[in-house]
Amino acid sequence: MSTPLPKIAWIGLGIMGSPMSENLLKAGFSVTGYTLEQDKLDRLAAAGGTAAGSIAEAVEDADVIVTMVPASPQVEAIAYGPDGILENARQGALLIDMSSITPQTSVDLAKNAAAKGIRVLDAPVSGGEAGAIEAVLSIMVGGDQADFDSAKPILEALGKTIVLCGPHGSGQTVKAANQLIVAVNIQACAEAVVFLEKSGVNLRAALDVLGGGLAGSTVLTRKKDNFLNRDFKPGFRIDLHHKDMGIVTDAARNVGAALPVGAVVAQLVASLRAQGDGGLDHSALLRSVERLSGSEV
């Protein structure tokens, strides 16, 4: 007799959370979701999930609770307090936080949850909206091996590269490094695009050949059409990357790691946000380079 699949509560149905929860439904899991936007709850219900009216209602019978919200304050808001996860989830439940937050927030959450008999993994992801839709996310996990092992079937329905990186907070530390690499890579691609165009080179041909050599990257592959079409519909917003660059620069300072290039790119991300582009995709770093070059379209 096969073991029944765990019942899942999903909190946070945004750009990433909605397709990820739908992939769990496709894999046969029962998903009860809660978020603040009714249209997102309607979308979950249309996909075969159950919409809850509160966090408490969503988590009360769940074996596993997955959270995907923007930042540390939101994680703390949904986790703590009389209406939060820790007061309403059953003992023995597993909380998988897939938000991108500070490592210390994850460490504190794990400690406070343990006092309630709730297990925790921090499991932030990389791959953006496309990776979420295609279920090919990279998932970097912090926590105990036994909890990671029990969560593996769920994570395998969401991503392709799933690695336990160390104790609580380790997943968030690796995610911070990921966001550093991605931001610097996008900035380099944006500078190359402006350089190529100002030089009169066919941009599509140039990006095709660059993508096949050492300069090729997932960033270039995923964002090539954004650059070519100036399509900055958010797959991952500048606002969120600004938050993440704050996390990595602060964490690096705490451990004594110098980030000379990362610090510059963090300022460029902050500048783009200050100019009103925070709601655009992070590939919109191209707009900043164009402005600096006097060639904004």
* pTM of structure: 0.92
Phi-psi region of 143 (alpha: psi -120 to 50; beta: other; left: phi over 0): left
Structural domains in the chain? 7-167 (3.40.50.720), 173-293 (1.10.1040.10)
Using the CB atoms, write b or e for 148-157: b if 16+ within 10 Å.
bebbeebbeb
User: What is the predicted pLDDT for the residue at 54?
Assistant: 97
Q: Which long-range contacts (CB under 8 A, 24 or more apart) does 258-264 make?
A: 259/180, 261/184, 262/180, 262/183, 262/184
Phi-psi region of 88 (alpha: psi -120 to 50; beta: other; left: phi over 0): alpha
User: What is the predicted pLDDT for the residue at 292?
Assistant: 95
> Has 175 been annotated as catalytic?
yes
Does the pLDDT value for residue 265 go beyond 80? yes
pLDDT in tens, 6-51: 999 999 999 999 999 999 999 999 999 999 999 999 999 999 999 9
Mean pLDDT of 85-92: 97
Q: What CA–CA distance (Å, rounded) separates 204 from 228?
A: 7
Mean pLDDT of 182-199: 98
Does the pLDDT value for residue 77 go beyond 90? yes
Which candidate, 235, 46, 237, 30, places its Cα nearest to that of 131?
235
Name the phi and psi angles at 121, rounded to 5.
-125, 135
| pLDDT tier for residue 101 given thresholds of 50, 70 and 90 | very high
Which candidate, 98, 105, 77, 72, places its Cα nearest to that of 9?
98
pLDDT in tens, 108-134: 999 999 999 999 999 999 998 999 999
The DSSP call for residue 281 is B
Secondary structure class of 261 (helix, strand, coil) = helix
The DSSP call for residue 217 is -
The DSSP call for residue 5 is P
Question: Helices (DSSP H) in the chain: which residue ranges?
Answer: 17-26, 38-46, 55-59, 72-79, 85-88, 103-114, 128-134, 145-156, 170-198, 203-211, 218-229, 238-255, 260-272, 285-293
User: What is the predicted pLDDT for the residue at 86?
Assistant: 98
* Average pLDDT across the chain, whole number: 96
Does the pLDDT value for residue 1 go beyond 70? no
User: What is the predicted pLDDT for the residue at 4?
Assistant: 86
User: What is the predicted pLDDT for the residue at 235?
Assistant: 87
Does the pLDDT value for residue 141 go beyond 90? yes
Q: Which of 40, 175, 223, 243 is catalytic?
A: 175
Q: What CA–CA distance (Å, rounded) separates 112 from 107?
A: 9
User: What is the predicted pLDDT for the residue at 2?
Assistant: 62
User: What is the predicted pLDDT for the residue at 159?
Assistant: 98
| pLDDT tier for residue 180 given thresholds of 50, 70 and 90 | very high
Does the pLDDT value for residue 231 go beyond 90? yes
Q: What CA–CA distance (Å, rounded) separates 190 from 6?
A: 44
User: What is the predicted pLDDT for the residue at 297?
Assistant: 53
Q: What CA–CA distance (Å, rounded) separates 78 from 109?
A: 11
Phi-psi region of 239 (alpha: psi -120 to 50; beta: other; left: phi over 0): alpha
| pLDDT tier for residue 296 given thresholds of 50, 70 and 90 | low
Mean pLDDT of 205-218: 97
The answer to whether 174 touches 140, Cβ cutoff 8 Å, is yes
